[in-house]
């Protein structure tokens, strides 16, 4: 059977272009591309995505009534093998630009938990891998703990069964990640590992 080229989507959520998580996202996508993926990067702050209005209209058919850039973004998130969430820590949690996207996945939550459907068939789900890339100014690893809970929810709702985190504490200024020895290389390697589920570049089949 002919395998199609795996796709990896990078959601770069910081408003700071060429900032730390944006550079990390680029490195991870480079790693995925070198391992054989077709890659796409989306700069989330450039999109028009409104917050969830909690209207519960999505409980009927699992579709959001808001007409903005979110529906095409959900299509992209569901139609790939690898999903990268590149999002820094702001105010001890995920940057709002990432959190708005996650809140707007309420329609996917409704499909699963209200309508009792799955958003993806089993075979597509099994291939999917996730990667959360983050940076924080504060120097202790625990700074990522609150956001980790939200990211776990994010990957659950978009049906990514396995994901990993590459996050660097004590990285404050724009581009400071370049000075952290081995950091961008680590992102690149993690990007390549996203293809493991698709049977490329790894061992977990």
Q: Is 198 in the site for ligand FMN (CB under 6 A)?
A: no
Residue 18 or 79: the one with the smaller Cβ distance to ligand FMN is: 18
CA–CA separation, 59 vs 67, rounded Å?
17
Q: From the list 90, 154, 155, 163, which residue makes contact with ligand FMN (rule: CB under 6 A)?
A: 90
Q: From the list 36, 45, 137, 202, which residue makes contact with ligand FMN (rule: CB under 6 A)?
A: 137
Residue 91 or 203: the one with the smaller Cβ distance to ligand FMN is: 91
Q: Is 171 in the site for ligand FMN (CB under 6 A)?
A: yes
Q: Is 106 in the site for ligand FMN (CB under 6 A)?
A: no
Residue 9 or 35: the one with the smaller Cβ distance to ligand FMN is: 9
Q: From the list 6, 10, 19, 130, which residue makes contact with ligand FMN (rule: CB under 6 A)?
A: 19
CA–CA separation, 92 vs 30, rounded Å?
29
Residue 21 or 27: the one with the smaller Cβ distance to ligand FMN is: 21
Q: From the list 6, 11, 14, 101, which residue makes contact with ligand FMN (rule: CB under 6 A)?
A: 14
Q: From the list 103, 120, 124, 138, which residue makes contact with ligand FMN (rule: CB under 6 A)?
A: 138
Q: Is 6 in the site for ligand FMN (CB under 6 A)?
A: no
CA–CA separation, 96 vs 44, rounded Å?
11
Which long-range contacts does 148-155 make (Cβ < 8 Å, 24+ apart)?
A: 150/93, 150/94, 150/99, 150/102, 151/85, 151/94, 153/102, 154/85, 154/102, 154/105, 155/83, 155/130
Q: Is 92 in the site for ligand FMN (CB under 6 A)?
A: yes
CA–CA separation, 63 vs 36, rounded Å?
33
Pairing outcome for strands 38-43 and 7-12: parallel
Task: Work out how close the CB of 91 gets to ligand FMN at its nearest, in angstroms, rounded to a whole number.
Answer: 5
Residue written as token pair 């404050």:
172
3-state secondary structure at position 92: coil
- Hey, CA dihedral for 146, 149, 151, 157, is it positive or negative? negative
- Residue 30 and residue 191 in contact, taking contact as beta carbons nearer than 8 Å: yes
Contact residues toward ligand FMN (CB under 6 A) are 14, 16, 19-22, 88-92, 135-138, 143, 171-172, 174
């Amino acid at each position: 059977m002919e395998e199609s080229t795996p796709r990896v989507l990078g959601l770069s959520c910081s408003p700071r272009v060429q900032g730390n998580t944006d550079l990390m996202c680029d490195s991870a996508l480079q790693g995925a591309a070198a391992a054989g993926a077709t890659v796409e990067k989306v700069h989330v702050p450039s999109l028009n995505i409104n917050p969830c209005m909690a209207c519960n209209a999505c409980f009927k058919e699992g579709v959001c009534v808001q007409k903005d850039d979110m529906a095409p973004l959900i299509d992209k998130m569901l139609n790939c093998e690898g999903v990268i969430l590149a999002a820094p820590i702001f105010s001890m949690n995920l940057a709002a630009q990432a959190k708005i996207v996650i809140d707007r996945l309420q329609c996917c939550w409704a499909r699963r938990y209200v309508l009792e459907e799955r958003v993806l068939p089993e075979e597509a789900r099994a291939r999917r891998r996730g990667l959360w890339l983050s940076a924080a100014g504060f120097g202790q690893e625990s700074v990522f703990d609150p956001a980790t809970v939200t990211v776990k929810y994010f990957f659950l709702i978009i049906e990514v069964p396995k994901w990993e985190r590459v996050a660097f504490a004590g990285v404050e200024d724009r581009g400071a990640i370049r000075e952290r020895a081995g950091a961008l290389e680590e992102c690149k390697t993690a990007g390549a590992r996203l293809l493991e589920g698709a049977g490329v570049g790894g061992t977990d089949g």
